[in-house]
Amino acid sequence: MKNQSVIFFDIDGTLLTHDKKLPPLTKEAIFNLKEQGHLVAIATGRAPFMFEGLRKELGIDTFVSYNGQYVVLNGEVLYTNPLNSLSLEKLAKTALHRNHPIVYMDHLDMKANVPEHEYIKESIATLKIDRFPAHDPLYYKGRALYQSLLFCPEGEEKQYEQEFKDFDFVRWHPVSVDIVPKGGSKAIGIQKIVKELGLSEENVYAFGDGLNDTAMLSMVKNSVAMGNAEERVQKVAKYVTKSVEDNGIHYGLQMVGLL
């Protein structure tokens, strides 16, 4: 397609409402884009197994997951960026002494290093997914992990930021923080896909609402922040659409001229 564009969508608070529902008008807009010949992709902090159902529902097989650490183009793995295993092992031992559990995550599953913890239950429950991390304290051994979750109250991640320079810590819940490789972001994952497709920056769009979307929205020329995004997220985007609850995707796609 001569004027094909690629449009990246965050999931939580962007494609899905805060009740994890996909608005009918959003679904209609996605299929409209595909009918026009555009490539629709997902860019999320979630693991691939956490949005498999959504991908099937929307017919999407291109995605940036784990905040840029596991990237798939047309069903094929294009790029991976695993965590430093030695540093992660050291971090996990430190966190256990502070009663801060860890969940290890690869592209297939996630396992907790403690049998149970209230913070894990509380935060994972908000994702409304059909799986919960089982206990396997040695899951980090012998496999590539693309993200982990550190469970601690707001502000307490600062001590880890000082101690573990191999990682970035991105808060997504009052008691949970994403652990990703230093410098890793959705923006890097998007760059890998765009380069492989050979598209110009004018043909790249991104929609998001969270703090982990700021790098993506800053980098993509045609960036759209959701109306429900924090002000600091909206400030880095070129456009601001309505909230996810108010059909912000459909409205935003009209705003940028794709619908």
Burial 146-173 (b: 16+ CB within 10 A, else e): bbbbbbbeeeebeebeeebeebbebbbb
The ranges assigned to domains in the chain are 6-80+184-255, 85-181
**Looking at domain 6-80+184-255, what is its CATH homologous superfamily?**
HAD superfamily/HAD-like (3.40.50.1000)
**Three-state DSSP class for residue 229:** coil
**Model confidence, pTM:** 0.91
pLDDT tens digit string along 109-160? Answer: 999 999 999 999 999 999 888 889 999 999 999 999 999 999 999 999 999 9
- Hey, which residues are catalytic here? 10
Cα–Cα dist 25/17, whole Å: 12
Q: Do domains 6-80+184-255 and 85-181 have the same CATH topology?
A: no
pLDDT tens digit string along 41-77? Answer: 999 999 999 999 999 999 999 999 999 999 999 999 9
In the CATH scheme, what is the code of domain 85-181?
3.30.1240.10
40 CB neighbour count, 10 Å cutoff: 22
* Residue 189 phi, psi dihedral angles, 5° rounding: -60, -40
Structure tokens at 80: 């991976």
